Structure formats: C-alpha cells, structure tokens
C-alpha cells in the first residue's frame, strides 16, 4: 500500500496541466487529460494527443485558428496509441518517448543529452527539443521530420520528404510521396503495395527539358509565407494570392496532388491557392491494373475496368481489375487471342521495349509471340513511314486522353471480343466514408494475470507505476467494454467533416413546425429556423427519400468538405426514416434574383463584386477542390447575398442526391438540367456536358446583372417560343454592333436603375467576359478561374471583397 501511495504522488507530480508552450524534463503529457497540451505563445498551434479513430490517438501538432483543428505534424501516424494511460514523456536522459497503455515504446526522438533539455512549441508550429542553456542548441525538431505538410520556412531536404495520408480521415502513411530523388530533382512518386512510379515532373521527358537542374546536390526546397516556393533544382512557383503574407501550408493530399492552402482569416478555413497537377487522372496509382481513370463532371475522378475485366475491390480501386475470362495467356492459346482497339486511351509505362514495325499486324504478331509476356500493344506512327510498337507487360495508369498520339490494342481471347459487352463505368468511392473503428485494445491474458501481477509486484517502482496504470486501465476498460457505439462513430465523422447531424424533432422545433417558408430550390422547400445554439439557419427539406442512409451520408460529406467564402456553408443534415434535410447558413439579403428586382439595393460596386465572387465560388467547385463538381443550375435564384452583399453560391452538389434513380446515358446524363434562359446549348443538342455549362449560365447571369433584364423577360417580350434562349445575348450584341463607338452601347445596355452611376471600364470588361462565356462553342468559353483572373485585374482597390 505504501508503494501505491508513493506512486500516486509521483503520478500527481509528473502531470502538468497549465497551458504552456514548454515541457520540462521528467514531465509528461497524458492522453487522458485533454488539457495536457502545449500551446504556442501566440496560441496558433497546439501539440498534444489528437484523436484519429475510436480510442486511437496520435501525438500531433495542429493549427488551432481554423474551424476544425488542422493537423500539421504527427509523431506516430502508423501506430496510434490507446486512449487510456498513453503518454509522452521527456526523460531525464534527454530522450522524448511516446509510451502506450501496454508499456510499448511507440515512438522516440532517440536523443541523449547530458545537459538540461526542454520541449517547446514555437510560434511557427515547430516542436523543438533544445538545451536550456543561454545559447539554445536544438537537439531535435519536428520541422526535420515532416508528415504530409510543410509550413512556411520548413524545408524539404534529402532526409525530409512528405508522405500523404491514406485518406482524409485516416492519417496513416498513404501512397504518395514528395521527395528529392537521387538525381537531385524534386519529384512526386506513387508507391503502392506492389507498384511504384513517378508521375511528376512528366516522366517521359528529361528533367533538364522541364527546367530542372540535376547538378545542385544541396537538395533544399522551401515555401515562404508570401506564397513563393523555391527549390535547389530550379523549380519555382508563386501561389495565386502571392504576395499576401498569411498562414499557408503545402500539403501532399491523399489524392496524390500537391497543393498550397492559404488561411482565410474571416472564414477560418483553408483555401487552395496552388496545385501541381491540373488533370486529376494524371496522378498514378488511382485506378490500379487493367482499369481506366476518367473525370466525370458530377462525380469527379472515376475508375472503370477495361473490357473483359471486373473490379477486384469496389472500395479500393487501387487494387484494379481482374480478368473475367480464363487468364491463361500461354503460348498454346496463342491462336485464340485477338485485339481490341482503344482509340483515345493512354496506358502509361510497362513497355517491354520498342520495335520498329511496318504494319499494325506485325506489331500484334510480336505481342502474340511473346505469349504471357504481352497483354497488349501501343502502336504509334513514326516520322519515316514506319511505326513504333510497344508491347505492354502490364496494363497500368490507364486514362482517357482524346489528344494522345498513339493507339492501344488490348490482347483478349477472341470469345470476349465477339461478345461485344459494353464497357461499364463504375463509380469510384472516393468519399471520405465513415471512419473505421480502430482497436488498440490490449487483452490481458487471463491465465497470466495473477502471475504477472506478482512478478511486477516484486519489481521496482518504475515498473510498478506502469502496472498500476495498467490495472486501473484494465478495470476501466472492463466497465466500459463497448466504447465505440454508433454515437462515437458519428461524432468522429462529425469532427472529421465539420458538420452536425440533427434529429428531425430538433429541426421541427427550430423551424416552429416548418412555418416560415423562404424559398424553393432544387428538390425541396427551404424554411427559416433558429437552432438551439441560436444560429439562424436555412433548412431545406428534400422531397423524395429514395436514397439509402449510407449513400446519403457519403454524398453529404462530400458537400460538407467544400469550403469557400463564395459557397454557401452547410452546417449539418438530418437523415431519419424518410426524412432528408439539409441545414445551411442563413443569408440576410436573400438571393441575387430578389435584389435585382428590388430597386436600387445593388449599386454598381456590389454588382461587380457579386460577379467576381460568384466566379470565384464556381472556379473553386470546378477546379480547385478535391472533388470536381459541376453546378448545372447557375441562376440568380441560386446566388445568395450575405449581410455585406458578398455572394455565396447555393444548391451545388445536389444533382446526385436528387436524381438518384435516373439512368445515366453513355455521355453521362440523359436528362436536361438547369433553368430555361440560363442553359448552355450542349444540354439541348446532347453534347458532352463539362464545366463549361456553368460558364455559360454564369455569362447569362452577368449580362442580366449589367442590363437589369432577365433572359426570360426578353423572351416573353419578343414572344419567342421553344428552346431559343439567346435573346438577351443577341439583344446586347446587336446594340454593340450598331453603336458608332464603344461609349455608346454601354449607356444603352446598362440597367436604368443604376441611374448612370457605374464604372465604364468595369462594365466593359464584364460584358466582354460575359460574351465570351456565352459562346456556342464550349471550347471558346474561358474557364471559371480564367474569368476570375480577367475580372480581378479590374477590381477597385478600395472595394471590400
């Protein structure tokens, strides 16, 4: 008993709980006390135990100013520790150790020092172990062993590379790496369980031809807080918001792309300000063997199997597809093999060698003769009227590229070739999903417990301490055998995605029984409500509940991940029985449509800023965020205005939620979406639907804002019928053409409600950009980010955003 008493005294003494930035020698941070964190003196960073799963914690550094803590660094990403009894201790000998409930050493800095050390979290997010002498000497620092994130000033070096997480919720080491290669060049590598390949810089070109030097052995690359990145191999970039001095981070995301995120102080969230790979399918390793990657405008990046193959694991497309046929490619079955032509396909790498041939037949025979060693060929015209033939040993890195200058022929049994089964697209589940329950539970073997207790009892105090912790923990564990009920899982999902699940009753109370109707959007009626925390919300009740709960949650979580100051914020949702509700922030000033009708509420400055902000929101949806989303119904009713008349795009990402049971045709969509007057011609003529449909609708909205005339109004005035919807555009282009000089048409088309108060050069650029956006040929329309660039250069420097 005396021993236990002594132990308790030690435990008590060695637990610090005040918010400080420094941990002294012989002290510990315990997983059980949420207050056991180091907080940098500017309060922007914290270091402590971060929950990564059910009862699973990692010792991490996170940024505290964002709405959700942003994990910057993790000590033990691949070995989370138990939520009981684990602790991080700075030992007397200078070693910083992380020990878990079973007394195993999980992680250590492996430092030894005879002088007094302390661990300090600095104001720039670096965790530094240094001697507490007058001249602090750094013994170890977290900046030298990054996880997947670099902070400004933190270098990538030969030893310090970035490795992505498995997924947005699983922080374990993933498959993508940003590193200095042996030839001194900075690269991105996919390193899967069985395969690895470099995908940036373009592996088919020499580094030197891509502006990289292979001679500087220094190997160092740094991002600064202004958004400029420089590397010793000559690679350099500036983020779009350069040179604003703000919080930034460079991160290799779980999807293999490298991005710079800038911190938005007003919204308290991160926005992408640079990314290295513009084309999502150019990242290797996404779809695995025998499959193809393609970008679907609604679902984002998708995989499908090549003809004759079926998916191995629909939840992990990186495992690829396996043959549906007898996969015996041996020489005695040579006669039964044929080839399938894939005209716009690229299968990068895994060529056996290259042979010059004079015909396709010769190339195919080469492949047939290689038997099991050849799964298909790539065939390419050579300058001197011969062809290059590349036999493929494996079919990997497949993607759809209309402008690829080679053709692929797959080797398949003739029986399969004749069956003419269409290629089926399957959706890749790249949703963040519900988090898995991670069990770090240590079962004490029952038959040994008494014995080991006795053994420990006779040992010294150090061991005793741990055994008591273990027993206490064991007791607690037994009384709380199932810590991971649905509730826990749910909460984890929430903390990962940042929004809340409400019960139907809560939302019914919030809206006083769905009384105050404030609008009707795609698929449902919107009500005003006040949540229990007093926030005013817009609550949308979706009409049909023909969707399973898991699917609904997966899609909702995708929408919940989108964060941009020009996109409406989703706070939560409700899914209960047949009820499906979405909870959004409430916008004081209603929609752009209301404000264009109500006289004089939108002066010129506000109109220009609405045009710019809406473009930014759409550009983010199209290009910058992790999922690629088309809006498909851009119109003034879907652009909401906050108290400062800043625009926020609403009703995005819902197309999947609302059109669940519609069959999708080969071009993707079989039904026209959108609103008459704002619809791009592609919908009508059944062309391929791309992000350019939103660009078109945006152009119409801008023309409407400038002229104050709705495209519908002009249609009815001029008594037009049918699908013809270019009246507003034609009206404006006619005015421009018939005007003697540029000054004249402006006066004629600008909304009379503005009473002559507008900036001529801004009107000019808006109309010019809008007319580019509404071109019939979608390839002639600019991208949304290009629109942002064009408008930004005309923004008044004094205008608020």
Ligand X SMILES: *[C@@H]1O[C@H](CO)[C@@H](O)[C@H](O)[C@H]1NC(C)=O
Catalytic residue set: 633
Q: Quick check: 164 and 148 in contact, CB under 8 A?
A: yes
Q: Quick check: 593 and 518 in contact, CB under 8 A?
A: no
Contact stretch for ligand X (CB under 6 A) within 41-49, 215-223, 236-244, 251-259: 215-223
Q: Please tell me whether residue 123 adopts helix, strand or coil conformation.
A: coil
Q: Is 193 in the site for ligand X (CB under 6 A)?
A: yes
Q: Of all helices (H) and strands (E), which one includes residue 89?
A: strand 87-90
Contact stretch for ligand X (CB under 6 A) within 61-69, 130-138, 348-356, 756-764: 348-356
Sign of CA dihedral 370, 374, 378, 383: negative
Minimum distance, C-beta of residue 355 to ligand X, in the bound complex (Å): 4
**Positions at the binding site for ATP:** 540
In which residue are the tokens 């062993």 written? 145
Q: Is 83 in the site for ligand X (CB under 6 A)?
A: no
User: Which of the 8 DSSP states describes residue 479?
Assistant: H
Of 216 and 365, which has the nearer Cβ to ligand X? 216
**Positions at the binding site:** 540
Ordered alpha helix ranges (H), 383-537: 414-419, 449-458, 461-479, 486-497, 504-510
Q: Is 14 in the site for ligand X (CB under 6 A)?
A: no
x-or-dash string of contact with ligand X, 33-62, rule CB under 6 A: x-x-----------------x---------
**Of positions 132, 394, 438, 771, contacts ligand X by CB under 6 A:** 438
**Of positions 3, 218, 336, 720, contacts ligand X by CB under 6 A:** 218
Measure the CA–CA gap between 447 and 29, rounded to whole angstroms: 33
Contact stretch for ligand X (CB under 6 A) within 122-130, 135-143, 350-358, 733-741: 350-358
Chain positions 312 to 331 lying near ligand X, rule: CB under 6 A, are 319
Q: Is 653 in the site for ligand X (CB under 6 A)?
A: no
Residue 72, phi then psi, degrees to nearest 5: -110, -35
Minimum distance, C-beta of residue 414 to ligand X, in the bound complex (Å): 24
Residue 684, phi then psi, degrees to nearest 5: -70, -45
Q: Is 17 in the site for ligand X (CB under 6 A)?
A: yes
C-beta contacts of 456-462 below 8 A and 24+ residues apart: 461/3, 461/6, 461/7, 461/10
Minimum distance, C-beta of residue 178 to ligand X, in the bound complex (Å): 17
Chain positions 220 to 259 lying near ligand X, rule: CB under 6 A, are 220, 232
Of 121 and 765, which has the nearer Cβ to ligand X? 121
**Of positions 126, 142, 168, 170, contacts ligand X by CB under 6 A:** 170
Measure the CA–CA gap between 381 and 305, rounded to whole angstroms: 27
In which residue are the tokens 């900075």 written? 186
Of 369 and 755, which has the nearer Cβ to ligand X? 369
Q: Is 393 in the site for ligand X (CB under 6 A)?
A: no
Q: Is 365 in the site for ligand X (CB under 6 A)?
A: no
In which residue are the tokens 């006083």 written? 512
Measure the CA–CA gap between 669 and 299, rounded to whole angstroms: 12
The number of residues that bind ligand X (CB under 6 A) is 20
Of 431 and 467, which has the nearer Cβ to ligand X? 431
Minimum distance, C-beta of residue 353 to ligand X, in the bound complex (Å): 4
Q: Quick check: 307 and 342 in contact, CB under 8 A?
A: no
Q: Is 64 in the site for ligand X (CB under 6 A)?
A: no
**Of positions 393, 436, 509, 783, contacts ligand X by CB under 6 A:** 436
Q: Quick check: 362 and 420 in contact, CB under 8 A?
A: no
Of 353 and 719, which has the nearer Cβ to ligand X? 353
Pairing label, strands 56-63, 45-53: antiparallel
Quote the crossing angle between the two packed helices 2-13 and 461-479, to the nearest 10°: 80
Q: Is 194 in the site for ligand X (CB under 6 A)?
A: yes
Minimum distance, C-beta of residue 411 to ligand X, in the bound complex (Å): 15
Measure the CA–CA gap between 471 and 362, rounded to whole angstroms: 74
Q: Is 216 in the site for ligand X (CB under 6 A)?
A: yes
Of 321 and 778, which has the nearer Cβ to ligand X? 321
Q: Is 15 in the site for ligand X (CB under 6 A)?
A: no
**Of positions 91, 238, 352, 444, contacts ligand X by CB under 6 A:** 352
Of 64 and 605, which has the nearer Cβ to ligand X? 64
Q: Is 166 in the site for ligand X (CB under 6 A)?
A: yes
Chain positions 497 to 556 lying near ligand X, rule: CB under 6 A, are none
Of 232 and 557, which has the nearer Cβ to ligand X? 232
Minimum distance, C-beta of residue 175 to ligand X, in the bound complex (Å): 10
Cβ neighbours for 476, distance < 8 A, ≥ 6 positions apart: 84
Measure the CA–CA gap between 20 and 40, rounded to whole angstroms: 7
Contact stretch for ligand X (CB under 6 A) within 352-360, 502-510, 616-624, 650-658: 352-360
Of 324 and 755, which has the nearer Cβ to ligand X? 324
For 530-540, give one letter per residue: b (16+ CB within 10 A) or e.
Answer: ebeeeeebbbb
Q: Of all helices (H) and strands (E), which one includes residue 305?
A: strand 300-305
Minimum distance, C-beta of residue 7 to ligand X, in the bound complex (Å): 20
Q: What is the 3-state secondary structure (H, E, C) of 337-351?
A: EEEEEECCEEECCCE
Q: What is the DSSP string of 681-730?
A: HHHHHT----THHHHHHHHHHHHHHHH---HHHHHHHTT--TT---HHHH
Binding site for ligand X (CB under 6 A): 17, 33, 35, 53, 166, 170, 172, 193-194, 216, 218, 220, 232, 319, 352-353, 355, 435-436, 438
């Amino acid at each position: 008993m005396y021993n236990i008493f002594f132990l308790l005294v030690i435990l008590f003494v060695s637990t610090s709980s005040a918010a400080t930035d420094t941990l002294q020698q012989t002290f510990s941070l315990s997983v059980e006390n949420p207050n056991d964190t180091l907080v940098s003196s500017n309060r922007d960073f914290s270091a402590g135990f971060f929950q990564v799963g059910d009862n699973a914690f990692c010792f991490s550094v996170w940024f505290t100013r964002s709405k959700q803590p942003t994990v910057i660094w993790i000590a033990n990403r691949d070995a989370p520790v138990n939520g009981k009894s684990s602790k991080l201790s700075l030992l007397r000998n200078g070693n910083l150790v992380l020990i878990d409930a079973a007394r195993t050493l999980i992680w250590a800095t492996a430092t030894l020092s005879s002088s007094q050390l302390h661990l300090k979290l600095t104001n720039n997010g670096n965790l530094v172990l240094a001697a507490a002498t007058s001249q602090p000497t750094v013994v170890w620092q977290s900046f030298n062993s990054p996880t997947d994130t670099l902070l400004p000033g933190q270098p990538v070096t030969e030893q310090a590379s970035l490795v992505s997480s498995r997924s947005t919720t699983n922080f374990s080491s993933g498959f993508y790496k940003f590193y200095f290669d042996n030839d001194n060049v900075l690269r991105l590598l996919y390193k899967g369980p069985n395969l690895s390949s470099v995908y940036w810089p373009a592996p088919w070109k020499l580094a030197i031809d891509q502006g990289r030097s292979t001679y500087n052995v220094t190997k160092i690359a740094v991002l600064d807080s202004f958004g400029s990145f420089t590397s010793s191999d000559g690679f350099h970039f500036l983020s779009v918001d350069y040179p604003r001095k703000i919080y930034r981070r460079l991160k290799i995301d779980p999807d293999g792309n490298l991005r710079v995120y800038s911190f938005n102080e007003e919204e308290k969230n991160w926005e992408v300000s640079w990314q290295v790979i513009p084309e999502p399918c150019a990242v290797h390793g996404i779809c695995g063997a025998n499959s193809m990657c393609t970008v679907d405008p609604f679902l984002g990046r998708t995989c499908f199997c090549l003809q004759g193959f079926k998916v191995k694991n629909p939840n992990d497309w990186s495992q690829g597809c396996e043959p549906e046929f007898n996969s015996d490619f041996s020489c005695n079955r040579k006669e039964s093999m044929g080839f399938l032509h894939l005209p716009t396909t690229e299968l990068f790498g895994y060529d056996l060698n290259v042979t010059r041939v004079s015909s396709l037949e010769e190339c195919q025979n080469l492949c047939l003769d290689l038997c099991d060693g050849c799964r298909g060929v790539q065939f390419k015209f050579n300058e001197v009227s011969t062809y290059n033939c590349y036999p493929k040993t494996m079919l990997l890195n497949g993607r759809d590229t209309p402008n690829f200058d080679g053709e692929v022929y797959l080797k398949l049994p003739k029986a399969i070739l004749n069956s003419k089964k269409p290629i089926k697209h399957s959706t890749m589940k790249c949703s963040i999903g519900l988090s898995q329950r991670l069990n770090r539970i240590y079962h004490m073997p029952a038959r040994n417990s008494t014995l080991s207790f006795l053994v420990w009892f006779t040992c010294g105090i150090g061991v005793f301490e741990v055994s008591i912790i273990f027993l206490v923990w064991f007791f607690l564990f037994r009384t709380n055998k199932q810590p991971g009920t649905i509730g826990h899982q749910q909460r984890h999902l929430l903390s990962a995605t940042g929004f809340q699940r409400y019960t139907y009753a809560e939302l019914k109370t919030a809206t006083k029984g769905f009384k105050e109707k404030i609008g009707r959007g795609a698929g449902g009626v919107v009500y005003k409500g006040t949540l229990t925390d007093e926030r005013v919300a817009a609550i949308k009740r979706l009409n049909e509940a023909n969707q399973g709960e898991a699917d609904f949650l997966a899609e909702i979580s995708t929408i919940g991940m989108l964060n941009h100051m020009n996109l409406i914020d989703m706070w939560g949702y409700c899914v209960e029985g047949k009820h499906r509700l979405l909870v959004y922030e409430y916008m004081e000033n209603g929609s752009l449509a209301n404000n264009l009708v109500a006289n004089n509420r939108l002066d010129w400055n506000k109109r220009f800023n609405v045009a710019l902000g809406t473009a930014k929101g759409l550009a983010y949806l199209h290009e910058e965020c992790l999922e690629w989303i088309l809006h498909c119904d851009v119109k003034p009713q879907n652009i909401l205005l906050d108290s400062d008349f800043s625009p926020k795009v609403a009703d995005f990402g819902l197309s999947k939620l609302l059109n669940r049971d519609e069959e999708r045709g080969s071009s993707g969509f079989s039904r026209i979406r959108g609103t008459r007057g704002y619809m791009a011609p592609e919908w009508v003529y059944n062309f391929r639907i791309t992000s350019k449909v939103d660009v078109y609708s945006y152009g119409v909205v801008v023309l409407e804002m400038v002229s104050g005339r709705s495209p519908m109004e002009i249609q009815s005035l001029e008594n037009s019928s049918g699908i013809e919807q270019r009246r507003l555009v034609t009206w404006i282009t006619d005015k421009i053409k018939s005007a003697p000089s540029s000054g004249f048409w402006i006066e004629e088309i600008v909304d009379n409600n503005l009473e002559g108060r507008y900036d001529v050069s801004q009107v000019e650029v808006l109309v010019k950009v809008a007319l580019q956006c509404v071109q019939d040929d979608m390839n002639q329309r600019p991208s949304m980010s290009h629109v942002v660039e064009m408008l930004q250069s005309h923004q008044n420097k004094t205008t608020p955003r």
